[in-house]
């Protein structure tokens, strides 16, 4: 759409500059917003107010509805040919809606106040407003009063608004945040020529559910079996926010810890169980940005073994509307008791997994031998069909070919030496 107009032959720049003096008010007003905040699928309604001292000829009034995400950061890199540092820029842009409409066509406008209404709908999916030093998600309505072809002579006014999408944990289908979640990782010790194979170090983390709201307490359950000769100095539990910035040439990840706790140490050859590690989520606004292709915010709970650097991570979902059945939690579960094991321990689990792996390996080897035997038999059957009955394998066939060559040699008895 071409939004520029040229001056008439009898109009000069001086007339345009004089016309600017007669504009006393030009602004955008949102009429149906509470604290300039809207929900998804809601209509954004408002008016553009224009006050003139006297009648004025204009080139029109354009309203711009925009929702976008901008990412930008710079990094210092050493040049390949020189020892100097170069500044490398990374940026990305994404539009959710970008609409420009004329709400007043070119012509004369009477003196006094003129109110021009507008409205448009916020169609999901849209991310919530967010801003930090690398990214900005914004929504605004901008009106432009065009006096001539020169943009410097135009009047512009802008009104920003917020898009609020309260994440309802009760409506989350995939994944179901009311179900328990767990994760496990093992770290095999280094092998030396003089030592045998040691069992791995195993860490297990479990949550009764994966959906929480600000102000709630996460009750984590954990097991650690230290089969290494070194002592685990500390087992740290951390709830953190992960922000991912995506550009064409690089992806940048930033982590901010929200709350953390320490579980203590685990000696060599010991097994320790934590039935309840409380982590209270602070009562503050926490964002879940998942509707953007270039910027995402997620939350995770991590169990870190220091100094072995073994990490067990479980992803959780933070929502503004809590679960309705959050008080009906799953019963406490432990993969090992504090003293005598009441269920399957980590060592039993590793033995069962190793036994299943050995059984699967034996079955695979038997299947492979059976396949090789069948292939060898098919090759023999094919040889019986192609070659004579007394020719079966390749060795006999080679002797047969050698004999046939000697039989085809011509007699040389009549040739004198």
Q: What pLDDT does 216 receive?
A: 93
Tell me the pLDDT tens digit for each residue of 297-350: 999 999 999 988 899 999 999 988 888 865 444 444 444 433 333 444 555 555
Same CATH topology for 13-165 and 170-343: the answer is yes
Q: What pLDDT does 335 receive?
A: 43
Instruction: Residue 216: count other Cβ atoms within 10 Å of its Cβ.
Output: 16
Report which of residues 61 and 349 the model is more confident about. Answer: 61
* pLDDT cut 70: percent of the chain above it: 71
Report which of residues 378 and 183 the model is more confident about. Answer: 183
How far, in Å, CA of 178 to CA of 347, rounded? Answer: 29
Residue 99 scores a pLDDT above 80: yes
Q: What pLDDT does 28 receive?
A: 96
Give the chain's mean pLDDT: 81
Indicate the DSSP class of residue 214: T
How far, in Å, CA of 149 to CA of 12, rounded? Answer: 11
Report CA-CA distances (Å) from 181 to 185, 200, 281, 343: 14, 23, 18, 18
Q: Within 13 A of 108's CA, how many CA atoms are on the CB side?
A: 4
The domain locations on the chain are 13-165, 170-343, 366-407
Q: What pLDDT does 224 receive?
A: 94
**Burial class (CB within 10 angstroms; exposed 0-12, middle 13-18, buried 19+) of 374:** exposed
With bands split at pLDDT 50, 70 and 90, how would you rate the model's confidence at 117? very high
How far, in Å, CA of 178 to CA of 390, rounded? Answer: 73
Give me the CATH code for the 170-343 domain, please.
2.60.40.640
* pLDDT cut 90: percent of the chain above it: 52
Indicate the DSSP class of residue 246: E
Q: What pLDDT does 336 receive?
A: 40
Tell me the pLDDT tens digit for each residue of 262-284: 999 999 889 999 999 999 999 88
With bands split at pLDDT 50, 70 and 90, how would you rate the model's confidence at 187? confident
For 326: left if phi > 0, alpha if psi spans -120 to 50, otherwise beta; the answer is alpha
Strand partners, 77: 86
Report which of residues 356 and 297 the model is more confident about. Answer: 297
Residue 136 scores a pLDDT above 60: yes
How far, in Å, CA of 273 to CA of 81, rounded? Answer: 56
- Mean pLDDT computed over 59-68: 96
With bands split at pLDDT 50, 70 and 90, how would you rate the model's confidence at 412? very low
Give me the CATH code for the 13-165 domain, please.
2.60.40.640
Q: What pLDDT does 173 receive?
A: 66
């Amino acid at each position: 759409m071409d939004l520029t107009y040229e001056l008439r032959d009898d109009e000069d720049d001086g007339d345009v500059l004089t016309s600017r003096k007669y504009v006393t008010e030009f602004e955008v007003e949102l009429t149906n917003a509470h604290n300039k905040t809207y929900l998804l699928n809601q209509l954004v309604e408002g008016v553009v107010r224009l006050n003139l001292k006297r009648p004025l000829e204009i080139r029109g009034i354009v309203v711009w509805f925009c929702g976008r995400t901008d990412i930008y950061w710079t990094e210092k890199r050493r040049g390949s040919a020189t020892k100097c540092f170069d500044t490398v820029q990374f940026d990305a842009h994404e539009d959710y809606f970008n609409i420009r409409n004329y709400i007043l066509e070119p012509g004369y406008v009477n003196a006094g106040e003129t109110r021009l209404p507008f409205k448009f709908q916020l169609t999901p999916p849209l991310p919530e407003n967010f801003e930090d030093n690398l990214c900005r998600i914004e929504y605004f309505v901008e009106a432009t009063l065009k006096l001539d072809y020169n943009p410097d002579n135009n009047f512009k006014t802008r009104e920003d608004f917020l898009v609020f999408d309260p994440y309802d944990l009760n409506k989350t289908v995939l994944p179901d945040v009311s179900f328990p979640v767990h994760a496990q990782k093992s770290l095999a010790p280094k092998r030396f020529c003089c030592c045998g194979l040691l069992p791995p170090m195993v860490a297990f983390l479990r949550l009764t559910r994966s959906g929480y709201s600000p102000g709630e307490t996460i009750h984590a359950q954990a097991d650690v079996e230290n089969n290494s000769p070194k002592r685990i100095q500390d087992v740290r539990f951390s709830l953190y926010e992960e922000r991912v910035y995506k550009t064409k040439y690089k992806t940048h990840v930033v982590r901010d810890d929200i709350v953390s706790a320490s579980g203590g140490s685990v000696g060599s050859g010991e097994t320790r169980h934590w039935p309840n590690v409380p982590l209270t989520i602070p009562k503050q606004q926490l964002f879940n940005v998942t509707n953007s292709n270039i910027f995402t915010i997620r939350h995770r709970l991590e169990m870190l073994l220091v100094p072995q650097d073994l990490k067990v991570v479980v992803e959780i979902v933070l929502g503004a509307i809590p679960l309705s059945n959050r008080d009906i939690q799953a019963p406490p579960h432990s993969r090992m008791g504090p003293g005598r094991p009441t269920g399957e321990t980590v060592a039993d689990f590793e033995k069962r997994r190793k036994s299943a792996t050995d059984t699967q390996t034996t079955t695979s080897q038997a299947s492979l031998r059976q396949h090789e035997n069948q292939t060898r038999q098919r090759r023999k059957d094919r040889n019986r069909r192609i070659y004579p009955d007394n020719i079966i394998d390749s060795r006999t066939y080679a002797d047969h070919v050698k004999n046939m060559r000697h039989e085809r040699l011509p007699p040389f008895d009549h040739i004198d030496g």
